[in-house]
Chain A
């Protein structure tokens, strides 16, 4: 087989897939389904302007001639009361949902991780202070906390993300706290201490990389739930403001017209379902992979 005839893209994909972890992961069909769902949503969201049949409908445009139409060949998910194509709005809605998921976790995870690392490594009064603060945040029912924050700050997408991040970081603090407590006794951490390594080195080079497996699994599982939470806030009118498409607020809009114009709530709702389920299955698959390896 001459080198010229081999497709370089195919070679590298094969090498990627000829991996022990992929082998085990792919044995579980549900995990593959989850991966497929997540990939589909992500690609659709990334390439929304090209994938959506009516990209112009994502924004404020109106087309009253085609308002409130049930699903048809022209509009697979029907149209809303302003005449906008639901399918396109769902796809653009995924853009909003996924960005919310990513940004919220980009804020919450670093805060939680640092808190957990410090509390788990130094113990004593550091643990007492940090973990009690964490407990305070955990003791407030999540949505109530978000509502309270949004009561103080005006409802907007940005503030909704801050509010959700505020309720999310404690879970990471707790996860990393527990892992750090165990890892501090590990031989290589002891070795690093005896060698004279600085605390910063031990925390970020020795301990943190060994939390990655659990961390990535939790992040994957959480994206789905963050999306759901954002949708809940959107449903309550506290997140994104119209006319930006957001799955939760779309469900709310459509809810007023149930059961006649059912497609206005059902399809966005199914969109939320697919997102949450997809990330859940993917995360479960990752967790199973980890368990076996441990």
Chain B
């Protein structure tokens, strides 16, 4: 069994906001193999964005480690290390410098890592743009005149320009229309297969996860509460929060509605309350809570070989 390409062990991150200490992530373990797409799903406050920032080296963890091909990545990464792990962000408009042309943005990694000699840079950028389905003539234009889908594709061209092994995608399609999202997803899947990339795909949109990822990790308030193969997690969600999440998905057909788990929406539980100091963090919102839930935080328990959940009373 080969070692994973990307491995995260006991990753923890605290923030100090004034006098309070906010725990954004607590002891996260996850791994992404070569050529694999792992999705990280969660709501706001789950810590998924923080996870993305840490993995890609924007911030340093409070404790825990991030390993790339068995080597631990230090807090200050070298250029060579950065080259292998790149980022695609949510908002393509702010991800591109408005004062730089498309060419100048996409050529940046080529220049930093001296991938191509100067003479070849322009043609290489043209190739990259064609790979992501854009015409060469947008090279000298500025991002403001492009559509959301085009901008995201430029950002993608920039991300793969240095030849990375893995991409962290932080909500890459959330700011896009449905039809444009379909376009970008198609492109992401094709690129992943063609360039043998690994993806850490961070999103709040479960429906996208199903068509893109092999494995899913569900975060709630900084903790991993469920992880497993995508099909298994959707077919038999174990954690009650996962059930709630899938049940809340607005679907467009009766056939899909029948596939969703049921959820007692009419029982109004809390709306955005504080996480309890003891016990399961989801308990205030959980209609299936039992006694242990208030006393002991459940451990991440494997139910089947590779499907685990952090729940005292998992479903269905």
Contact residues of A with B, CB < 8 Å? 186-188, 190-198, 201, 205-206, 209-210, 212
A191 near B89 (CB under 8 angstroms)? yes
| 16 A-B pairs (CB sep. < 8 Å) | A186-B94, A187-B91, A187-B94, A188-B94, A188-B95, A188-B105, A190-B58, A190-B89, A191-B155, A193-B58, A194-B82, A194-B86, A196-B112, A198-B112, A201-B112, A209-B100
Interface check B141, CB cutoff 8 A: no
Chain A proximity of B81: nearest CB distance (Å)? 8
A195 near B112 (CB under 8 angstroms)? yes
Contact residues of B with A, CB < 8 Å? 56-58, 77, 79, 82-83, 86-87, 89, 91, 93-100, 105, 108-109, 112-113, 155, 158, 162
B58 near A195 (CB under 8 angstroms)? no
Chain B proximity of A124: nearest CB distance (Å)? 14
Chain A proximity of B172: nearest CB distance (Å)? 12
Contacts of A195 in B (CB 8 A): 82, 86, 108-109, 112, 158, 162
Q: Given contacts A191-B89, A209-B99, A210-B99, is CB(A197)–CB(B108) below 8 Å? A: yes
Q: Given contacts A191-B87, A196-B79, is CB(A210)–CB(B98) below 8 Å? A: yes
Question: With the chains together, A194 CA to B166 CA distance in Å?
Answer: 13
B57 near A194 (CB under 8 angstroms)? yes
A188 near B97 (CB under 8 angstroms)? yes
A196 near B83 (CB under 8 angstroms)? yes
Q: Given contacts A206-B97, A209-B99, A210-B99, is CB(A194)–CB(B58) below 8 Å? A: yes
Question: With the chains together, A189 CA to B2 CA distance in Å?
Answer: 35
Question: With the chains together, A212 CA to B82 CA distance in Å?
Answer: 30
Contacts of B155 in A (CB 8 A): 191
Chain A proximity of B148: nearest CB distance (Å)? 13
Question: Most chain-B CB neighbours within 10 Å: which of A190, A205, A212?
Answer: A190
Contacts of B82 in A (CB 8 A): 194-196
B143 and chain A: residue at smallest CB distance:
A188
Chain A proximity of B282: nearest CB distance (Å)? 31
Chain A proximity of B313: nearest CB distance (Å)? 41
Question: With the chains together, A215 CA to B1 CA distance in Å?
Answer: 58
Number of A-B contacts (CB under 8 A): 58
Question: With the chains together, A191 CA to B113 CA distance in Å?
Answer: 15
Contacts of B113 in A (CB 8 A): 196
Chain B proximity of A163: nearest CB distance (Å)? 35
A207 and chain B: residue at smallest CB distance:
B97
Chain A proximity of B125: nearest CB distance (Å)? 14
Chain A proximity of B84: nearest CB distance (Å)? 10
A197 near B112 (CB under 8 angstroms)? yes
Contacts of A186 in B (CB 8 A): 94
Question: Most chain-B CB neighbours within 10 Å: which of A190, A195, A201?
Answer: A195
Chain B proximity of A36: nearest CB distance (Å)? 30
Tell me the interface secondary structure of chain A in the complex. Answer: helix
Chain B proximity of A197: nearest CB distance (Å)? 6
Question: With the chains together, A186 CA to B98 CA distance in Å?
Answer: 11
B89 near A187 (CB under 8 angstroms)? yes
Contacts of B58 in A (CB 8 A): 190, 193-194
Contacts of B162 in A (CB 8 A): 195
Question: With the chains together, A187 CA to B58 CA distance in Å?
Answer: 11
Contacts of A193 in B (CB 8 A): 58
Question: Most chain-B CB neighbours within 10 Å: which of A188, A192, A193, A209?
Answer: A188
A192 near B108 (CB under 8 angstroms)? yes
Contacts of A212 in B (CB 8 A): 99
A212 and chain B: residue at smallest CB distance:
B99
One of A187, A197, A205, A210 near B95 (C-beta < 8 A): A187
Contacts of B105 in A (CB 8 A): 188
Contacts of B98 in A (CB 8 A): 210
Q: Given contacts A195-B162, A196-B79, A196-B112, is CB(A190)–CB(B99) below 8 Å? A: no
Contacts of B93 in A (CB 8 A): 187
Q: Given contacts A196-B83, A197-B108, is CB(A191)–CB(B57) below 8 Å? A: no
Query: Considering the complex of A and B, which 3 residue pairs feature the smallest CB-CB distances, nearest first?
Result: A187-B95, A187-B94, A196-B82
Chain A proximity of B252: nearest CB distance (Å)? 31
Question: With the chains together, A196 CA to B158 CA distance in Å?
Answer: 12
Contacts of B79 in A (CB 8 A): 196
Question: With the chains together, A197 CA to B162 CA distance in Å?
Answer: 12
Contacts of B109 in A (CB 8 A): 195-196
Chain A proximity of B174: nearest CB distance (Å)? 13
Contacts of A188 in B (CB 8 A): 94-97, 100, 105
Contacts of B100 in A (CB 8 A): 188, 205, 209
Question: With the chains together, A209 CA to B104 CA distance in Å?
Answer: 14
Contacts of B86 in A (CB 8 A): 194-195
Question: With the chains together, A197 CA to B57 CA distance in Å?
Answer: 13
B87 near A190 (CB under 8 angstroms)? yes
Contacts of A209 in B (CB 8 A): 97, 99-100
Question: With the chains together, A190 CA to B89 CA distance in Å?
Answer: 9
B99 near A191 (CB under 8 angstroms)? no
One of A194, A197, A205, A210 near B87 (C-beta < 8 A): A194
A190 and chain B: residue at smallest CB distance:
B58
B90 and chain A: residue at smallest CB distance:
A187
A191 near B83 (CB under 8 angstroms)? no
A209 and chain B: residue at smallest CB distance:
B99
Contacts of B89 in A (CB 8 A): 187, 190-191
Known contacts A195-B82, A196-B112; 4 additional CB pairs below 8 A are A187-B91, A191-B89, A192-B108, A206-B97
Question: With the chains together, A271 CA to B105 CA distance in Å?
Answer: 47
Chain B proximity of A292: nearest CB distance (Å)? 15
